[in-house]
Structure 1
Amino acid sequence: MSTVTASLPIARFTREEYLRLPESSPGFRFELLDGELVTMNDPLPRHQMVVMALGAALFGWAREAADRGQVLLSIDTDVGRDTILGPDLQWFAADRELPPTSERPWPVGDLVVEVASPSTSRYDARTKLARYLAAGAREVWLVAPDPLGARLVRPGGETALDADGVLRSPLLPGFALPLTALRDR
């Protein structure tokens, strides 16, 4: 097994073996990267507060109209051969054909959101970002709680936002969330 924060013995898993693992273990989350099990510590409260604020804003926006798709928190997401990642949030367009809600893994969302943690920010920004885009994500948001900021990445382009920026997307008409809404309360 390997971890994002420390090097441990490597365990190889097939997709099928990974999917037979428990969905969660106290204190750890798992992902599968090219057949290698990646373990991560559970996120800190600050990370979870930002994920919840983003998720609430996206969910609220999606619930305002029937054609605004579906927002999900971290789920096993198929991003390639023997690679299953768990982004913090995803939005799926209303016209997407999706598997039953009792199945895993799911396809990559149209919008994928990763909130940086001190131990995983490089992994999110380098490895996972490229995998999401290659698997068909139309946009990826990399949100940093401290210092507050975000990168909005689309195939062929990127926008950086500082703490005074506003999260918007051409995929989400009418959605606007000032990053200041993600500050500690």
Structure 2
Amino acid sequence: MKLKGGKGYTLADIEALPEGERAELIDGEMFRMDAPLRIHQDIVMELSFEIKSYIRKNKGNCKVYAAPFAVRIKKDNLNYVEPDISVVCDHEKLDEKGCYGAPDWVIEILSPSSVKMDCERKVKLYCETGVREYWIVDPEKETVTVYDFAHSDTAQPTDGACALAAESWNKPMLYSFTKQVKAGIFENLWLDFSKLDLN
């Protein structure tokens, strides 16, 4: 939910929020975050466990963080997000506060209040800032939308720009919960949504 007052918010405003209140900041606009539903939390926990187990089993170096986890994604004072799941493989980006720069893989779980943010604003933001892969999990429709920016000819992470045209944002890979979904940033990680414990 967008807060009134337009742009002009900074990281200081995020840090000044009352305890228990959470918000995200995109180009100086602040968006309040509603408390997640139980299904949302179930999915976050199940996926985080599966990803972390894969990394440990394969002696990987990446780290998995579930929200609330601070991501200063543009390395400035005007952008701050708390993805539901962040996978960070470059430990140089990690500090005591969270991640300074773009995670390699971001997963967001849709809720009724986050559709516009997760499906529009964050697609552009994550593409622009060098996120390699972005998944949007929709518990209501039981679908997973996968944006593979790392293997897209339209993403240009080297200069921080994203030339991804608006119409191509609507052409990611779409999977149902009955399918296994491959994580592009790992060689052999397949997540089977049909086996997640969501009851």
How far apart, CA to CA, are the structure 1 residues paired with 2:128 and 2:52? 25
Unaligned segments of structure 1, at least 5 residues: none
List per-residue Cα deviations over 1:117-153 (Å, max 9, x = no partner).
1110221010012101111011101111112110110
Of stretches 38-47 and 75-84 in structure 1, the one that deviates more from structure 2 is: 75-84
List per-residue Cα deviations over 1:1-27 (Å, max 9, x = no partner).
xx24xx645473223x145335x733x
Q: How many residues in Structure 1 have an aligned counterpart in Structure 2?
A: 176
Change (3 A) 1:64 1:169: same
Change (3 A) 1:66 1:120: same
How far apart, CA to CA, are the structure 1 residues paired with 2:119 and 2:41? 18
List per-residue Cα deviations over 1:37-85 (Å, max 9, x = no partner).
2112111111111111111111111111333411111212123351111
Unaligned segments of structure 2, at least 5 residues: 153-170
Specify the alignment match of 1:33 in structure 2: 26
- 1:84 is aligned to 2:98: no
How far apart, CA to CA, are the structure 2 residues paired with 1:134 and 1:140? 12
Of stretches 101-110 and 67-76 in structure 1, the one that deviates more from structure 2 is: 101-110
Q: Any residues of structure 2 matched to 1:41-52 within 5 Å, and which? A: 41-52=34-45
Hey, which of these two has a bigger chunk of helix by percent? 2
List per-residue Cα deviations over 1:128-183 (Å, max 9, x = no partner).
12101111011101111112110110223721101212121231122111121236
- Aligned partner of 1:58 among 44, 47, 51: 51
TM-score, normalised via structure 2 length:
0.78
The percentage of counterpart residues that share the same residue type is: 20
Change (3 A) 1:85 1:18: same
How far apart, CA to CA, are the structure 1 residues paired with 2:13 and 2:99? 10
> What is the aligned-residue RMSD (CA, Å)?
2.2
Q: What's the offset of the Cα at 1:110?
A: 0.7
Change (3 A) 1:144 1:183: farther
SS at match of 1:120: helix
Specify the alignment match of 1:161 in structure 2: 175
The residue type paired with residue 83 of structure 2 is P
The residue type paired with residue 86 of structure 1 is E
SS at match of 2:33: strand
The residue type paired with residue 173 of structure 1 is E
